[in-house]
């Protein structure tokens, strides 16, 4: 029984938490949430504005859900509320102000689920006109006035501004709609003041109109500052000045009085009732003396300017000549243009040079003879009379460096008939330097070098090799003597001419197996690059660069294939290519081949002679044998007779019958094509023009 009660209590506790019932099967969905501004997003001041937050929630069951709403302005929470109703949340902004302007959002949270609406911007236009109030409208000099500026009905963060006429005199930042300022006026008379304010609504600001002006009358106190300077007139340099600063019409108030005596920005003295100062008068740029009185907020001052006549003017230092070379003597003149002759004798005015370490020679007051140093040096003239010392502006002497003997050279190569450049250059010398090019001793051209890396270049042309040595150059930068360079020494390149291709051995003697030498020669300046070509070949057979005007190309073990047309080309630094005439080379048979062919010819001729002799003997024997044969003639019939016409040298004869006997070329024999009969011919047949041969039966 006890166990049953325990299980029951555990089941019930799963449905209860913090005193309320939770339904495990309860489901909900926040579908959407919107924020709207009523009556409109843009309103004027004093409009009643309502922010409406509307949430759309779907849920299972009849019991209402607990909802938490939050309203945000510019990211900060300004309102929150818990409710279990589904009605819209309304947040009123009564009599809206500019400070209510901003971006608003609405957020709903239900059981750890939330959703935030989109931002809506509210703009409220219009600010109230500020009100200015002062505690006194009539005050004495130095007395304080309290001014209060109010922005009626406005809220937010403010900047208040206080103005005197159009000039801003104070600024206050407060978080309320009212600011207070304590004002002091530096001068007597009437002063008009007004105020204005600005409301800060991040990230914008809104400025109000200006308040009405309020007039404050400031009365002058009788107290004054008095400045006295003695002597009052005809003051010269070196005179003693006595200056007094005092108070007049002291009201004997409890406020302490302070006096300040100054000249320009320099404070000379200070005190309480009377201040004095003594000094030597100097004629420099005029500066006012001021006696200043301060009593609380009261400021009084008196100023005076003193005119001091110069005893002598500031000296000027000049040099002669205007340009000087190192270690040369120059003259420095130091003079004051004006002096007060009624107070100063000329002998009282003395001049010195600073520094005095340099060797000086002075025979006349203010005139110095100085030897120029090797480097730049500064001089200052010091004029002195009656304890008055004046210094001139610093004169910087820059001694010039005499130009050194120039060096003359060529730029690039010198080719006869082609223009080239000559360079004249000195190692040392102050700029500018004038360089003059000479041919012999005749002036050709002048170039001025003004910059450190500038060069003196001259463009010329030579037509003969010996002309190059006539060029010289002269350098001058102001010195009396102009150094002259040495004569120009440079290699002159003569362009190549007369290219000739020579063949060894001589053309008729060139045979197979010989060594052929193709010698190419030119006139001109080496080094020369030679190339040999054979007509039909694009690339050269051989290339060589030599410091001679001729060289050769050797072809070893000639053969018939080496026959052809050859030429050579040559070029030097003048870059003008020359070509020889064509040479035709025919390689003949070698001598042993000629002998061998001759032997074969003689042998063949001998064999032919032997054969002819043998043939002749053989034919002769046959004719003799044929003569010995007996020939038996018969009565020929008229229709059977065969008549043969035989001509000399074995020509063929025509027969009268259809049979066509032919002479076969053998002496004493005739072949009858019809009967193949052979007749023996007499030995003297050759001496007959015709012969009758009896027919064979």
Rounded Cα distance, 345 and 335, in Å: 15
- 53-98 pLDDT per residue, tens: 999 988 887 777 889 999 999 889 999 999 888 889 999 999 899 9
- 514-534 pLDDT per residue, tens: 889 999 999 999 999 999 999
Which phi-psi region, left, alpha or beta, contains residue 356 (left: φ > 0; alpha: ψ -120 to 50)? Answer: alpha
Give the lowest-confidence range in 3-7, 115-119, 379-383, 389-393: 3-7
C-beta atoms surrounding 587 within 10 Å: 19
Which pLDDT belongs to residue 531?
A: 96
Rounded Cα distance, 303 and 228, in Å: 9
SS (H, E, C) 225-255: EEEEEECCCCEECCCEEEEEEEEECCCCCCC
Side-chain half-sphere CA neighbours of 485 within 13 A: 27
Clarify whether residues 49 and 113 are in a common domain. Answer: yes
> Averaged over 137-160, what is the pLDDT?
91
Clarify whether residues 142 and 109 are in a common domain. Answer: no
Give the lowest-confidence range in 7-21, 249-263, 444-458, 545-559: 7-21
Tally the domains of the chain: 6
Q: What is the dihedral of CA 460, 463, 464, 470, to 10 degrees?
A: -30
Q: How many helices and strands (H and E) does the chain possess?
A: 2, 57
Of 219, 249, 280, the last residue of a domain is 219
Token pair in block for residue 624: 């003799």
Clarify whether residues 98 and 168 are in a common domain. Answer: no
- Checking if the pLDDT of 648 tops 70, the result is no
Q: Which of 447, 459, 469 is nearest to 418 (CA)?
A: 459
Residue listed under structure tokens 């002091």: 184
- 444-455 pLDDT per residue, tens: 999 999 998 999
Clarify whether residues 472 and 486 are in a common domain. Answer: yes
Confidence of residue 628 (pLDDT cuts 50, 70, 90): low
- 211-263 pLDDT per residue, tens: 999 999 999 888 889 999 999 888 888 888 999 999 988 876 667 889 999 99
What DSSP state is assigned to residue 325?
B
Clarify whether residues 198 and 215 are in a common domain. Answer: yes
Rounded Cα distance, 185 and 140, in Å: 10
Q: Using alpha carbons only, what angle is made at residue 8 by residues 7 and 13, rounded to the nearest 5 degrees?
A: 100
In a domain? residue 592: no
DSSP 573-592: TT---EEPPPEEE-PBPPHH
Rounded Cα distance, 634 and 495, in Å: 107
Which pLDDT belongs to residue 220?
A: 85
Stated pTM of the model: 0.46
Q: What CATH number did the domain enclosing 209 receive?
A: 2.60.40.10
Clarify whether residues 262 and 320 are in a common domain. Answer: no
CB 151 within 8 A of CB 177: yes
DSSP 647-697: -TTT----BSSS--EEE-SSTT-EEETTT----PPPGGGGG-SEEEEPPP-
Clarify whether residues 181 and 193 are in a common domain. Answer: yes
Clarify whether residues 210 and 237 are in a common domain. Answer: no
Q: Using alpha carbons only, what angle is made at residue 483 by residues 480 and 489, rounded to the nearest 5 degrees?
A: 165
Residue 310, phi then psi, degrees to nearest 5: -70, 140
What is the span of the domain harbouring residue 102?
28-125
Which pLDDT belongs to residue 663?
A: 35
In a domain? residue 474: yes
Rounded Cα distance, 382 and 362, in Å: 14
Q: Which of 281, 268, 287 is nearest to 240 (CA)?
A: 281
What DSSP state is assigned to residue 339?
B
Length of the chain: 697
Q: Element (H or E) spanning 12, and its range?
A: helix 2-13
Residue 552, phi then psi, degrees to nearest 5: -130, 160
Q: Using omega within 30 degrees of 0 as the cis cutoff, is the peptide bond preceding 527 cis?
A: yes
Token pair in block for residue 44: 């004027």
In a domain? residue 233: yes
Which pLDDT belongs to residue 373?
A: 87
Task: Please tell me whether residue 341 adopts helix, strand or coil conformation.
Answer: coil
């Amino acid at each position: 029984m006890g166990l049953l009660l325990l299980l029951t209590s555990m089941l019930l506790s799963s449905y209860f938490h913090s005193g309320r019932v939770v339904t495990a099967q309860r489901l909900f969905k926040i579908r959407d949430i919107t924020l709207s501004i009523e009556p409109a997003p843009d309103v004027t001041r004093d409009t009643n504005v309502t922010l409406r937050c509307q949430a759309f929630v779907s849920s299972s069951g009849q019991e209402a859900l607990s909802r938490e709403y939050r309203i945000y302005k510019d990211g900060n929470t300004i309102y929150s509320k818990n409710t279990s109703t589904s009605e819209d949340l309304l947040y009123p902004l009564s009599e809206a102000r500019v400070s209510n302007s901003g971006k608003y959002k609405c957020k709903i949270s239900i059981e750890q689920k939330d959703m935030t609406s989109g931002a809506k911007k509210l703009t409220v236009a219009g600010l109230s006109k500020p009100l200015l109030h002062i505690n006194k409208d009539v005050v004495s000099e130095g007395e304080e006035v309290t001014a209060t500026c109010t922005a009626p009905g406005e809220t937010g963060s403010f900047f208040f501004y206080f103005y005197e006429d159009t000039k801003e005199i104070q600024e206050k930042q407060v978080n309320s709609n009212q600011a207070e300022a304590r004002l002091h006026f530096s001068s007597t008379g009437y002063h008009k003041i007004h105020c204005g304010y600005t409301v800060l609504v991040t990230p914008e600001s809104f400025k109000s109109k200006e308040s009405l002006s309020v007039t404050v009358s400031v009365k002058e106190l009788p107290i004054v500052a008095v400045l006295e300077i003695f002597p009052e007139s005809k003051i010269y340099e070196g005179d003693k000045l006595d200056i007094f600063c005092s108070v007049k019409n002291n009201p004997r108030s409890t406020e302490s009085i302070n006096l300040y005596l100054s000249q320009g920005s320099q404070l000379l003295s200070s005190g309480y009732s009377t201040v004095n100062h003594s000094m030597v008068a100097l004629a420099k740029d005029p500066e006012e003396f001021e006696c200043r009185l301060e009593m609380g907020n009261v400021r009084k001052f008196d100023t005076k300017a003193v005119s001091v006549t110069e005893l002598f003017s500031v000296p000027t230092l000049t040099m002669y000549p205007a340009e000087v070379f190192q270690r040369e003597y120059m003259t420095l003149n130091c003079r004051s243009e004006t002096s007060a002759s009624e107070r100063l004798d000329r002998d009282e005015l003395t001049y010195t040079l600073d520094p005095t370490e340099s060797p000086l020679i002075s025979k006349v007051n203010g005139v110095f003879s100085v030897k120029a140093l090797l480097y730049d040096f500064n001089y200052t003239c010091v004029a002195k009379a009656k304890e008055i010392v004046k210094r001139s502006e610093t004169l910087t002497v820059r001694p010039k460096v005499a130009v050194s003997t120039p060096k003359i050279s060529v730029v690039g190569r010198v080719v006869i008939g082609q223009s080239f450049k000559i360079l004249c250059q000195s190692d040392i010398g102050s700029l500018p330097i004038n360089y003059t090019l000479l041919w012999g001793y005749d002036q050709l051209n002048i170039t001025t070098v003004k910059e450190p890396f500038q060069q003196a270049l001259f463009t010329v042309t030579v037509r003969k090799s010996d002309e190059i040595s006539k060029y010289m150059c002269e350098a001058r930068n102001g010195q009396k003597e102009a150094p002259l360079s040495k004569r120009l020494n440079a290699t002159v390149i003569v362009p190549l001419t007369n290219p000739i291709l020579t063949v060894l051995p001589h053309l008729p003697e060139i045979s197979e197996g010989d060594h052929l030498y193709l010698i190419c020669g030119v006139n001109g300046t080496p080094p020369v690059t030679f190339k040999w070509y054979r007509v039909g070949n694009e690339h050269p057979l051989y290339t060589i660069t030599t410091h001679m005007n001729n060289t050769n190309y050797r072809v070893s073990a000639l053969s018939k294939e080496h026959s052809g047309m050859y030429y050579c080309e040559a070029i030097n630094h003048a870059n003008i290519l020359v070509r020889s005439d064509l040479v035709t080379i025919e390689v003949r048979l070698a001598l042993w081949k000629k002998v061998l062919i001759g032997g074969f010819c003689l042998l063949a001729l001998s064999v032919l002679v032997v054969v002819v002799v043998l043939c002749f003997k053989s034919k002769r024997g046959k004719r003799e044998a044929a003569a010995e044969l007996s020939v038996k003639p018969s009565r020929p019939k008229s229709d059977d007779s065969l008549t043969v016409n035989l001509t000399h040298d074995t020509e063929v004869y025509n027969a009268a019958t259809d049979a066509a006997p032919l002479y076969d070329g053998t002496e004493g024999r005739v072949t009858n094509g019809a009967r193949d009969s052979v007749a023996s011919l007499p030995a003297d047949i050759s001496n007959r023009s015709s012969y009758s041969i009896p027919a064979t039966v």
